[in-house]
Structure 1
Amino acid sequence: MRRKSKVPPAPLPQRLGVDPVHLRLPAEDAWPTLRAYLAERLPTVAPERIDALLSGREIVGEDGPVGPDEPFRPGAHLWLHRDLPAEVPVPFELDVLHHDDRLVVVDKPHFLATTPRGRHVVETALSRLRHALGLPALSPAHRLDRLTAGLAMFVVRPEDRGAYQTLFRDRLVRKEYRAVAPYDPALALPRTVRSHIVKERGVIAAQELDAPPNSESRIELAEHRDGLGRYRLRPLSGRTHQLRLHMSGLGVPILGDPVYPVLLPDPAPDDFRRPLQLLASGIEFTDPLTGRPRRFESRRTLAAWSDPAGWADGAAPRR
């Protein structure tokens, strides 16, 4: 079996908490120059931008910056900083609840993505934390949806990453959520919902199929008033959009959900008026490295319950 070659350490530092792009040139010598290869390999980058990167020596190999006349070197490693997309700043604070030599736990606001992806790169929890805390090797232990607020956990040291990510993979973390949704007196709660959820890459909405269940959620009603319910949710599995889909399937979709039960038109990127009323409120686990019990709780509230008039009027949420 052919071994996967190890990527050398990047010679470029992170920029605003974002790693440089790494390119490994193919083994075949099929291009006369590095520029010719880059023009083919990076079709979304304008040729004049490639020329500017090479002229400015902003593309770096293992032996230093490369220039416009650099020959193609099969198997070489290259690094460069990509041009970042224009992003609307998320105007809410990312609160650090816990920081030691192994873990960083934050209280993430709505609308802030956990990790860079697509049009959200710098405006993500990971990039903000790497930059603010000076922790370039910080990595996520799990993922929390961009529209969901609450607890997200990050690992400080690369050698500890596997131990904490395995906790989430093996369902050894007890996760609790709060949600605000319509109250239905005919809906018998508490109950456990099980279904088969599939989420296709590039498709916004997940779907439930008639197949053996691969997801499980415990749903309880904490209290209700004025036609709204405050719910306690515990996902016993970790499918994408699981809680949102299960609540919608019960006929009580979570307030502010732009996907379930109906996919709404994409709002303006700077419209922060009605956040999804879903909060990752608690995580609890036994630390795999110390054996100590750990529990963290969110300090955030859901505006539709704490300030229903302001939320209904579309006032910008307070953070």
Structure 2
Amino acid sequence: MNLKSDFVPPMINGVSASKVYLPTLQSHVGSIFDYLCQEFPHISQNEWIQRFNDQLIYNQQGHILTIHSPYTPNSHVFYYRFLAHETHVPFEHQILFENNDFIAVDKPHFLTMSPTGQYVQETLLVRLKKQTNNEFLTPIHRLDRETAGIVLFSKNPETRGLYQQLFAERQVQKTYHAIAPFNSHIPFPQHIELRMEKGEPFYIMQTCDGEPNSSTDISILEHNQYWAKYELKPLTGKQHQLRVHLNSLGLAIKNDSFYPSIQHKKEDDFTSPLQLLAKTIEFQDPVNQQIYHLFSKQELTL
């Protein structure tokens, strides 16, 4: 039985519903609750029970489900993700520019882009959805939680792919600023090319032998006896690329907790932001053909 419906779950407090397909199973599953617990073992039974009790799980006709609702193959259910406790990030974003198709946002340090792990409400995407009441907002590209600066969000599903294609085809010029040690023995400008792969633990990157798959142009904007402000222009978009490339010169970015070595910090420690800023972004708009050159209002200082 394939139950069709035009039900569109509403956005609740900036959070859009997640959609799960219920397939035909070889083994018997009595309830939707049993299936969700089985399919998502990393989510506790108590958390699923709470979501059902809070009436945050719907079938595709828009009816609220309970923990006793029977499993219905070849249908969909929708659920909302909320966390009982989140660490508040005490910094605000700023919308720099918007048109009918995208928003350019100045992201603060420490704010995660999208719901993941221990963050849902305390993410830039959910904050923006609540602010704009636009449930179709989607990041066109991403910045690390630790990195501040300019980032683009799609407003319109119909044109989203055009902007994503710009990034995929490297038609976007991005400039970053970073504070790192000054070494008078290292000449600049530098063109860095390295092969980067997933490291150990999984959330860091490492350099290895082989054909380079990452490249960055690096120059010095200003310096004193100990520190320099570097301008970095990535020509590729590997995870942690700028952090790894500067570190490869022995110039780890100030307050970097991953490179050259991992330093675990408490989630509520906001005292030492990574000194890396996505300063500018430039591209030709694929919809109106206008050239945009957008700047973060934030500054890094020596």
- TM-score strictly above 0.5: yes
In structure 1, the residue matched to 2:83 is 84
The answer to whether the Cα contact below 8 Å between 2:19 and 2:76 also exists between their aligned partners in 1 is yes
- Aligned CA distance change for structure 1 residues 53 and 248 (closer, same or farther; 3 Å): closer
Q: Hey, what's the Cα distance between the residues in 1 that align with 2:100 and 2:140?
A: 15
In structure 1, the residue matched to 2:10 is 13
Q: Hey, what's the Cα distance between the residues in 1 that align with 2:276 and 2:46?
A: 45
User: 1:41, CA displacement in angstroms?
Assistant: 2.7
Q: Hey, what's the Cα distance between the residues in 2 that align with 1:259 and 1:161?
A: 33
In structure 1, the residue matched to 2:261 is 262
SS in 1 for 2:158: helix
Q: Hey, what's the Cα distance between the residues in 2 that align with 1:100 and 1:156?
A: 9
- Aligned CA distance change for structure 1 residues 54 and 146 (closer, same or farther; 3 Å): closer
Q: Hey, what's the Cα distance between the residues in 1 that align with 2:166 and 2:21?
A: 32
Q: Hey, what's the Cα distance between the residues in 2 that align with 1:185 and 1:48?
A: 58
In structure 2, the residue matched to 1:209 is 208
Q: Hey, what's the Cα distance between the residues in 1 that align with 2:100 and 2:66?
A: 40
In structure 2, the residue matched to 1:275 is 273
In structure 2, the residue matched to 1:40 is 38
- Aligned CA distance change for structure 1 residues 270 and 39 (closer, same or farther; 3 Å): closer
User: Residue 227 in 1 paired to residue 226 in 2?
Assistant: yes
Q: Hey, what's the Cα distance between the residues in 1 that align with 2:8 and 2:17?
A: 9
The answer to whether the Cα contact below 8 Å between 1:11 and 1:60 also exists between their aligned partners in 2 is no
- Aligned CA distance change for structure 1 residues 188 and 114 (closer, same or farther; 3 Å): same
Q: Hey, what's the Cα distance between the residues in 2 that align with 1:225 and 1:50?
A: 55
User: 1:54, CA displacement in angstroms?
Assistant: 4.3
The answer to whether the Cα contact below 8 Å between 1:85 and 1:121 also exists between their aligned partners in 2 is no
* AA in 1 matched with 2:270: F
In structure 1, the residue matched to 2:300 is 302
How big is each residue's C-alpha offset from its partner over 1:42-92, in whole Å with a ceiling of 9 and x where there is no partner? 434444554554466432112222344432211111012234252211111
How big is each residue's C-alpha offset from its partner over 1:102-137, in whole Å with a ceiling of 9 and x where there is no partner? 110011111111222222222111111011111110
Identity of aligned residues (%): 35
In structure 2, the residue matched to 1:242 is 241
The answer to whether the Cα contact below 8 Å between 1:107 and 1:152 also exists between their aligned partners in 2 is yes
Give 1:120-199 correspondences, 5 Å limit: 120-199=119-198
TM-score (norm 2): 0.91
Q: Hey, what's the Cα distance between the residues in 1 that align with 2:277 and 2:94?
A: 14
SS in 2 for 1:181: strand
The answer to whether the Cα contact below 8 Å between 1:85 and 1:119 also exists between their aligned partners in 2 is no
Higher mean C-alpha displacement, 173-182 vs 108-117 = 108-117
Q: Hey, what's the Cα distance between the residues in 1 that align with 2:7 and 2:278?
A: 35
The answer to whether the Cα contact below 8 Å between 1:196 and 1:214 also exists between their aligned partners in 2 is yes
User: 1:9, CA displacement in angstroms?
Assistant: 6.3
The answer to whether the Cα contact below 8 Å between 1:254 and 1:276 also exists between their aligned partners in 2 is yes
